[in-house]
Chains A and B, each alone.
Chain A
Amino acid sequence: EDKVVQSPLSLVVHEGDTVTLNCSYEVTNFRSLLWYKQEKKAPTFLFMLTSSGIEKKSGRLSSILDKKELFSILNITATQTGDSAVYLCAVFNAGGTSYGKLTFGQGTILTVHP
């Protein structure tokens, strides 16, 4: 059974801090790993990672994947109160009857105080 574990489950920081969110996974027929930000209902796509060691970057957010050790990290630098959200990690299964299925981690609740 596919499994995704995120840590920490919650994190409280002050504006300007840098945070690192972790995601480890076990999945048959790995296709990609995705990061989402969820503020209200619908998750908003952040990154898709398919190759090891290649950093994806968008503004203050960056992410990298290690396919050998089966984990990914999401970094947020110079955090702002608007970064407060639940960050979800998910893996895409590309095989057989599970094709296209996303398995999500529990999420990390990030709270940024002014």
Chain B
Amino acid sequence: SAVISQKPSRDICQRGTSLTIQCQVDSQVTMMFWYRQQPGQSLTLIATANQGSEATYESGFVIDKFPISRPNLTFSTLTVSNMSPEDSSIYLCSVGFQGTEAFFGQGTRLTVV
């Protein structure tokens, strides 16, 4: 199993600004994942954060809008750039171990005003 610390827990941001979300894992993991959950919707994968290489983005998500860092095997950040009210969502990081259960951080509830 893994313990994942994600912060901030919530934030209210002005449109046009950026927010960086941090995710710290208590063990080394190869792949970390970032998800978005818009109000009333299910989770959608934004990107896979690989240590030592660029993140792999899903269709509909681009690096300029959601830059990701993965400086080591226990840490990753997701930045939501140039925010608009449509970016108001819950953002979640997760880790998985070779196809076994995936563990999630506590989530970040972002409101853009």
> Which of A32, A43, A88 contacts B99, CB < 8 Å?
A32
A104 and B43 in contact, given A31-B99, A45-B101, A92-B99 (Cβ under 8 angstroms): yes
B25 at the interface (CB under 8 A from A): no
Residues of B within 8 A of A31 (CB): 99
A60 at the interface (CB under 8 A from B): no
Interface residues of B (CB under 8 A from A): 31, 33, 35, 41-45, 48, 56, 90, 92, 94, 96, 99-109
A42 and B42 in contact, given A48-B101, A100-B31 (Cβ under 8 angstroms): no
A97 at the interface (CB under 8 A from B): yes
Taking the closest CB of chain B, its distance from the CB of A58, in whole angstroms, is: 13
How many contacts A-B (CB < 8 Å)? 59
> Would B102 and A102 count as touching, CB distance under 8 A?
yes
> Would A41 and B106 count as touching, CB distance under 8 A?
yes
Interface residues of A (CB under 8 A from B): 31-32, 34, 40-43, 45, 48, 88, 90, 92, 94, 97, 99-107
Counting chain B CB atoms within 10 Å of each CB, which of A40, A42, A90, A94 scores highest? A42
> Would A41 and B92 count as touching, CB distance under 8 A?
yes
Taking the closest CB of chain A, its distance from the CB of B7, in whole angstroms, is: 12
Residues of B within 8 A of A90 (CB): 43, 102
Q: Which B-chain residue is minimally distant from A4 (CB atoms)?
A: B42
A100 and B99 in contact, given A43-B43, A88-B42, A105-B42 (Cβ under 8 angstroms): yes
Residues of B within 8 A of A94 (CB): 99
Tell me the complex Cα distance, A31–B101, Å. Answer: 11
Residues of A within 8 A of B106 (CB): 41-42
Q: Which B-chain residue is minimally distant from A36 (CB atoms)?
A: B104
> Would A107 and B103 count as touching, CB distance under 8 A?
no
Residues of A within 8 A of B108 (CB): 41
> Would A102 and B45 count as touching, CB distance under 8 A?
yes
> Would A88 and B107 count as touching, CB distance under 8 A?
no
> Would A32 and B100 count as touching, CB distance under 8 A?
yes
Can you name 13 extra interface pairs (CB under 8 A) apart from A31-B99, A48-B101, A106-B42?
A32-B99, A34-B102, A41-B90, A41-B92, A41-B106, A41-B109, A42-B105, A45-B103, A92-B96, A97-B56, A102-B94, A102-B96, A107-B42
